[in-house]
Amino acid sequence: MQVLPSKDFIPNLTLHRLIRLWLLSAAGEPSSPLETRISAASDRLRALLAGIQTDAEDFAASLSELAEFSRFSAENRRVLVSFPGFDSAITRALAGSRSRIEALENVIAVLDLVLRENGSSDSGGVERIRRSILDCREDCLAAIAFALENGSAKSKVASVRVLEFLAGDFQSKRWIAETRGLLSQLVKLLYDGTEELNGAVLSLLASVSVTQSAKAELVRSEIVKALSKTLQSGASSSSMAEKCLKMLAVVATCADGRAAMGGDLSCAAAVVERLAKAGKAATEDAVAVLWSLCCLCGNEKVRDEVAKRNGVAVVLLVMQRGCEGHVRSMCVDLIKVLRKIELPLALRLSYDTKTTHIKPC
């Protein structure tokens, strides 16, 4: 949206709707000239943006009003993303509200609403916001971390979504992962968060885990335990299980992650159980996890646990469903190592009765 050169300028349709939906009553009498109402609307938005960049008494009030404006309609959110000065104003507000949780929650709400509305847009406004925040990343990321620790459940979900938006390239993902205490705080949320929050956290973690140091930090924060617990929960949806398997596959690419999973046999058992009914992408992740533990590491305890869970039958079933070449190759390796295990007679009988319908591959 362009700055109006004068009060006589004829507005575009976007500004027409903005005035009609939100500021009509505040901008003047319905019978006021259209140009006057448009000028008042623009002036009011500029005043709000100026208000959220200061430490004055109207800082919190301006943020609250801006949040209400963002919630009111999708059109309002589309106007904000390209309104002159919005990117710098919202960045300063985010950086400056680190210790004021109510104000901080309003800033994050505005960002979440505006970015979700305009994320797929070709407008340069979205990228300007991202760049502006990352240019001030130390203060802004610290503020978001504060919201994750002290905010409401709704605010935590919004904070995670904003972080995922910011993680648009490799460098920004590194910056986020290296923010002190942020990864451990995100893992903590997995233990008692809602499914919506946990799903958002797992999507973010899978995105920002681009370095070995980030993966090691996640392992130290006991993410394997959290993922295993979620996988074993009967209340977890298939979508949540798929995100857990994807995250386990990411963690399995580092030695610390494989060691942590090898020390938690319930994790391998949960992966086998989910593998039998997983979709294509989740199947690949689950096979990669089992292959890393049983073949790459050669963890005998994990092999025994997988075999006891009818792992050979499950892997054969995956192969018969059809899978990509590299996944099939991992399945073959798994069957080779699992078939070498001597199981007790009772387990062998159980295995035989459950797998007679599977044809040789």
The CB density around residue 45, as the number of other CB atoms within 10 Å, is 24
Mean pLDDT computed over 53-62: 73
pLDDT tens per residue, range 21-47: 665 455 444 444 545 555 556 777 888
Q: How far apart are CA 274 and CA 276, in angstroms?
A: 5
Contact 359, 320 (CB under 8 A): yes
pLDDT band at 96 (very low <50, low <70, confident <90, very high): confident
Domain boundaries, given as residue ranges, for the chain: 243-361
pLDDT score of 351: 43
Task: Please check the confidence at residue 137 and state whether its pLDDT lies above 60.
Answer: yes
pLDDT score of 161: 97
Q: Closest Cα to residue 173, out of 146, 143, 213?
A: 213
Percent of the residues in the chain that have a pLDDT greater than 90, as a whole number: 52
pLDDT score of 27: 47
Return the exposure string of 66-77: e unless at least 16 CB atoms fall within 10 Å of the residue's CB, then b. bbebbeeeebbb
The H or E element that residue 220 is part of is: helix 212-220
pLDDT score of 193: 79
Q: How far apart are CA 81 and CA 131, in angstroms?
A: 13
Mean pLDDT computed over 318-330: 87
Q: How far apart are CA 178 and CA 276, in angstroms?
A: 36
What token pair was written down for 45?
A: 């938005």
**Full-prediction pTM beyond 0.75?**
yes
Mean pLDDT computed over 181-206: 93
**Phi and psi based region of residue 28 (left: phi greater than 0; alpha: psi -120 to 50; beta: remaining):** left
pLDDT tens per residue, range 266-284: 999 999 999 988 888 899 9
pLDDT score of 345: 43
Helices 101-118 and 59-72 pack at an angle, to 10 degrees, of 30
Structure-model confidence comparison of residues 23 and 90, the more confident one:
90
pLDDT score of 271: 94
